[in-house]
Chain A
Amino acid sequence: MRTFRTIFKKELIDSLRDRRTLIMMVIIPLLLFPLLMTISTKIQVRQMRRAQEKILKIGLVTNGNAEAFRQTLFARTDVQIVENLHVDSAEALILSDSLDAVMVFAEDFDQEVGALRAGKVRLYFRSAEDRDIGKRRLLDLISDFEKSVVSRRFKKLNLDETILKAVRVQEKDVATQKEKIGKAIGGFLPYIFVLFCYLGALYPAIDLGAGEKERGTLETLLTSPATRFQILLGKFGVVVLTGVMSAVVSIVGLFLAVRQATEIPPELLSAILGILEVKSILLVLTLLVPLTIFLAAVLLSISIYAKSFKEAQSLISPLMIVVIVPVFIGLMPGITLDTTTALIPILNVSLATKAILSGTMTAGLLSEVYVSLILFAAASLYGCAKWFEREETIFRGS
């Protein structure tokens, strides 16, 4: 135990003095969420405001129809109407950004409406995320116009508008706010947590394995009375710690981001803080520890095998895909935690985190996830220890 402590302490000091480890373990996880949230909310709010406040330039071809609607449009201050244009030029005018949309009323529009049929209006627009608000505003105008026409028809026929409703659905959503938000952001959070566990463990694993080999310090360390397993365990402890720390710091960053976000509505904010309660977070962390042990063992095994820091980096790079793919699968709709998915490492953490945050986790499935993670962690650690015993691994290329 004393030897393990000695090695662990030294490796920890050594790692914490490495700028790359510090950046990956503290700086990025801490700043990512606040920066991401601040920047994305600011951009979103600005875009929305711009789209809402924008004076829409609408090309109008009424063919002598819908005079009432035309007058309504002219009376508005948030739209600018351009008339006397040819239908054939509509697309070109929109593509060249001269107009935001063009509305073309069919020649028989008034006739059709008068005959209690639907009059045709062709709407030309350019779909894109930032233009959707403009399109929505336009459709709202048409909808208002339609309502007034329908209302007039009912009056003319001496009918009550309520006869249109034959069935009234009364929705009662039994999902709690926590469940709804938990399921919405619960897929995103494990992605971040797993990624930070991996990234936090990455540099120390490379440095303490291949880095030590490259610097020529491993050989001397192996001639000390410490057993190979003690040496491995000391290194392993630091890699796991930095991985878990990275995830913990990212959680702190997330709290800071949510707290400082001023644009989140108070009800939503309290719901988010509700799902980020200490109990849930601690439960998620207990899943991340065995997962990090598993990842650390894999990372260290590759690192120890590599002859140099550079080789370790290139060997480890494809592993990122192995880590990300199961997390992505966990984000897919319809994929839920069951007795099968609970056995697949990384995917089980992703799905279990989602279930924990939305409050739908069952004790049986949680136990299965733990058993799977612990078995994988133990097997990978055992494999790593055996790997570290091999002369061919330690002295590969020397």
Chain B
Amino acid sequence: MIEVSNLTKTFKLNRQQKREMGPTFTDSTIDAVKEVSFTCQPGRIFTLLGPNGAGKTTALRMIATLLKPTAGTIKVCGYDVVKEPQAVRRRLGFLTGTTGLYDRLTPLEVVKYYADLHGMEESTFLRRREELFSLLDIHEFAKRRIGKLSSGMKQKVSIVRTLIHDPEVIVFDEPTAGLDVIASRHIMDLIRDCRRAGKTVIFSTHRMGEVSLLSDDLAIIHKGKLIYNGAYKDFLNQMRTESVEDEFIRLVEAA
């Protein structure tokens, strides 16, 4: 479970960033996320929807302990991300669309590396690796250098790397960004599999198609603030426009 309460992240702006904000912007800081609260339940997919620069990645990075909140709290499986970051990371899998892999290593080596970092026992690791390699057909290219693999193959390796330690919570930050249709399909299937396995899944996107295909719960974030938070079913029921996309635009424009 992920419990986010009154989460705020403020960034200091340097001179160049201030210039980029335009002449009317006079502050020296910016709230990338402001007083955001939501809960992600196990066995459900929580979608964080928002336009580019809305604060999705910042929020997810705070959940993944990469950034420290300026205010508010985040608990992952009951552990505070600031006070017990390592306990959180042990229970967390993290995958983004821009996730890279080590080109000079083989899939076997990369997966073993992350298993070791998670302190997995050898027997558990071998069993889990076998399971995931078979599921994603990785055996045939497991000993090839990653730099020589296709993007689809790389994506499969990324998935195994994310799931090798069987995390309770999985964070997907725009996981399909920049991927082709087939690789995107792998990710979508993976997210559904995680739900089936009772994992807590949070994923961010700005693609409406993915929202309707996957969401159990939905939060819409715009300029760092939540403008919608609830069950996706309820969102559909209270829509004032024809489509999810139109409703999203209506909410963003109204905010």
**A378 CB → nearest B CB, Å:** 25
For the complex, is A6 an interface residue (Cβ under 8 Å from B)? yes
**B107 CB → nearest A CB, Å:** 14
Question: Looking at the complex, which of B38-46, B97-105, B189-197, B210-218 is the stretch in contact with chain A?
Answer: B97-105
A227:B86 contact, CB within 8 angstroms: yes
- Tell me the bound Cα distance from A197 to B103 in angstroms: 26
A225:B105 contact, CB within 8 angstroms: no
Residue of A nearest to B63 (CB): A223
B89:A391 contact, CB within 8 angstroms: no
8 Å CB contact of B68 from A13, A225, A391: A391
Question: Looking at the complex, which of B115-123, B198-206, B227-235 is the stretch in contact with chain A?
Answer: B115-123
Chain B 80-107 interface residues, beta-carbon cutoff 8 Å to A: 86, 89-90, 92, 94-96, 98-105
- Tell me the bound Cα distance from A30 to B55 in angstroms: 52
A217:B117 contact, CB within 8 angstroms: no
A224:B100 contact, CB within 8 angstroms: no
B100:A391 contact, CB within 8 angstroms: no
- Tell me the bound Cα distance from A219 to B64 in angstroms: 10
Known contacts A14-B102, A391-B67, A223 near B89 by CB under 8 Å: yes
Chain A 212-271 interface residues, beta-carbon cutoff 8 Å to B: 215-217, 219-227
Known contacts A224-B117, A225-B86, A226-B117, A14 near B96 by CB under 8 Å: no
- Tell me the bound Cα distance from A395 to B95 in angstroms: 16
For the complex, is B247 an interface residue (Cβ under 8 Å from A)? no
- Tell me the bound Cα distance from A392 to B10 in angstroms: 12
Listed residue (A6, A13, A18, A223) with the most chain B CB atoms within 10 angstroms of its CB: A223
For the complex, is A111 an interface residue (Cβ under 8 Å from B)? no
B90:A10 contact, CB within 8 angstroms: no
Chain B 131-177 interface residues, beta-carbon cutoff 8 Å to A: 161-162, 171
**A201 CB → nearest B CB, Å:** 18
8 Å CB contact of A224 from B67, B68, B96, B118: B118
For the complex, is B25 an interface residue (Cβ under 8 Å from A)? no
- Tell me the bound Cα distance from A226 to B90 in angstroms: 9
| Total residues of chain B contacting the partner, CB 8 A | 32
Known contacts A6-B113, A220-B94, A225 near B118 by CB under 8 Å: yes
Which residues from B are CB-within-8-Å of A225?
Answer: 86, 89-90, 117-119
Which residues from A are CB-within-8-Å of B12?
Answer: 392
| Total residues of chain A contacting the partner, CB 8 A | 25
- Tell me the bound Cα distance from A392 to B13 in angstroms: 10
For the complex, is A17 an interface residue (Cβ under 8 Å from B)? yes
For the complex, is B66 an interface residue (Cβ under 8 Å from A)? yes
Known contacts A13-B109, A216-B96, A223-B65, A18 near B116 by CB under 8 Å: no
Which residues from A are CB-within-8-Å of B100?
Answer: 215-217, 220
- Tally inter-chain residue pairs, CB-CB below 8 A: 75
Residue of B nearest to A398 (CB): B57
For the complex, is A2 an interface residue (Cβ under 8 Å from B)? yes
For the complex, is A3 an interface residue (Cβ under 8 Å from B)? yes
B65:A18 contact, CB within 8 angstroms: no
Residue of B nearest to A16 (CB): B104
Residue of A nearest to B67 (CB): A391
B116:A215 contact, CB within 8 angstroms: no
Which residues from B are CB-within-8-Å of A227?
Answer: 86
Which residues from B are CB-within-8-Å of A391?
Answer: 66-68
- Tell me the bound Cα distance from A13 to B171 in angstroms: 29
For the complex, is B125 an interface residue (Cβ under 8 Å from A)? no
Which residues from B are CB-within-8-Å of A18?
Answer: 104
- Tell me the bound Cα distance from A13 to B113 in angstroms: 11
Which residues from A are CB-within-8-Å of B61?
Answer: 395
B119:A2 contact, CB within 8 angstroms: yes
B99:A219 contact, CB within 8 angstroms: yes
- Tell me the bound Cα distance from A223 to B60 in angstroms: 11
Chain A 173-229 interface residues, beta-carbon cutoff 8 Å to B: 215-217, 219-227
8 Å CB contact of B66 from A2, A3, A215, A222: A222
A224:B66 contact, CB within 8 angstroms: no
A220:B99 contact, CB within 8 angstroms: yes
What 0/1 pattern do residues 361 to 398 of A give for CB contact below 8 A with B?
A: 00000000000000000000000000000011011000
8 Å CB contact of A223 from B64, B116, B119: B64
Residue of A nearest to B162 (CB): A220
**B190 CB → nearest A CB, Å:** 16
Which residues from A are CB-within-8-Å of B99?
Answer: 216-217, 219-220
Chain A 1-44 interface residues, beta-carbon cutoff 8 Å to B: 2-3, 6-7, 10, 13-14, 17-18
A217:B105 contact, CB within 8 angstroms: no
**B83 CB → nearest A CB, Å:** 14
B103:A223 contact, CB within 8 angstroms: no
What 0/1 pattern do residues 4 to 19 of B give for CB contact below 8 A with A?
A: 0000000010000000
Which residues from B are CB-within-8-Å of A17?
Answer: 104-105
A217:B118 contact, CB within 8 angstroms: no
Known contacts A220-B94, A224-B89, A215 near B103 by CB under 8 Å: yes
What 0/1 pattern do residues 56 to 75 of B give for CB contact below 8 A with A?
A: 00000100111110000000
B67:A223 contact, CB within 8 angstroms: no
**B161 CB → nearest A CB, Å:** 7
Of the A-B pairs whose beta carbons lie under 8 Å apart in the complex, a sample of 13, sorted by A's number, is A2-B116, A13-B104, A14-B102, A14-B104, A14-B105, A217-B99, A219-B66, A220-B95, A220-B100, A220-B161, A224-B118, A225-B86, A391-B67
List 7 additional A-B contacts (Cβ < 8 Å) besides A10-B105, A14-B104, A223-B171. Answer: A3-B117, A7-B117, A13-B104, A215-B101, A224-B89, A225-B89, A392-B12
